[in-house]
Amino acid sequence: MANSASGMHVNDECKLKFLELKAKRTYRYIVFTIDETAQQVLIEKLGNPEETYDDFTNSMPENECRYAVYDFDFTTEDNCQKSKIFFIAWSPDTSRVRSKMLYASSKDRFKREMEGIQLGIPIQKGEAHLSVIKAWKEQKITKVTNKTQKKLLQISGWEKKKTTKIDSELASIQRKMDNKKLEKAEKLRKKKVAVHASAQEQKAKVQIRRAQEILDAEEEAARFQATGQVPKKPSLSCF
């Protein structure tokens, strides 16, 4: 038998259906319940692919805890349709204290056995919509930040490669102190300054773009929150 420290045993059927969702997108969501008598996590409901996030939240009990996984569709800034699997810990304020403790203590083991969950969200009844918007916005900002950092590293690498080559040429010229080569050295110094200025300008443009994309994401998230909508796109994966 499982105990509160190690978490409840996860029934094999739970793992099988989760693999089907992950590999074939045969379900929009799966709801799991803990059977205290059997001391294990069981499947309570399978959501059809055409069901919406509202259908999912409406199917959750008002006063009882549950686990769930939800296949969330979205479109990247490159217009690429993707999906991510969210783990949801459903914990209404009105649920029993014992139930909350049981689900909390078994959560880590459940997530470990459901390999492939990309984001976890603790949700209470009434805040599901806001939680998904917040998670979507944070994911968007993280992606923009990572892309910006990668671009900045590329620019820095380009700058270092160029200036290293120029420094090498300068060192060679400075060993020969004739006027002609001193003149060339001066031109190279100016070229190095120009390379540095170009790199700074490119970095500034990247940072400005990052700020604009983050602002766009925050404005879009605010619009979702104001209209009561949830970001969603057709469930066509893109690899």
**How do the domains of the chain map onto residue ranges?**
9-126, 141-227
The superfamily in CATH containing domain 9-126 is Severin (3.40.20.10)
Q: What is the pLDDT of residue 234?
A: 47
- Residue 237: is its pLDDT beyond 50? no
Per-residue pLDDT for 27 more than 90?
yes
Q: Is the pLDDT of residue 44 over 70?
A: yes
Query: What average pLDDT does the chain have?
Result: 82
Q: Which of the residue ranges 40-44, 127-131, 170-174 would you say has the lowest mean pLDDT?
A: 127-131
For helices 128-174 and 179-227, the axis angle rounded to 10 degrees is: 180
Please compute the mean of the pLDDT values over residues 36-50 and round it to a whole number. 92
- pLDDT tens-digit profile of 187-221? 889 999 999 999 999 999 999 999 999 998 888 88
Give the tokens for residue 85: 């699997």
Strands 9-10 and 29-35: unpaired
Cα angle value 103/47/131 (rounded, 5°): 55
For 85-141, the pLDDT digits (tens) are 888 888 888 889 998 899 988 888 888 888 767 556 555 444 544 556 566 667 778
pTM beyond 0.75: no
Structure tokens at 209: 């773009």
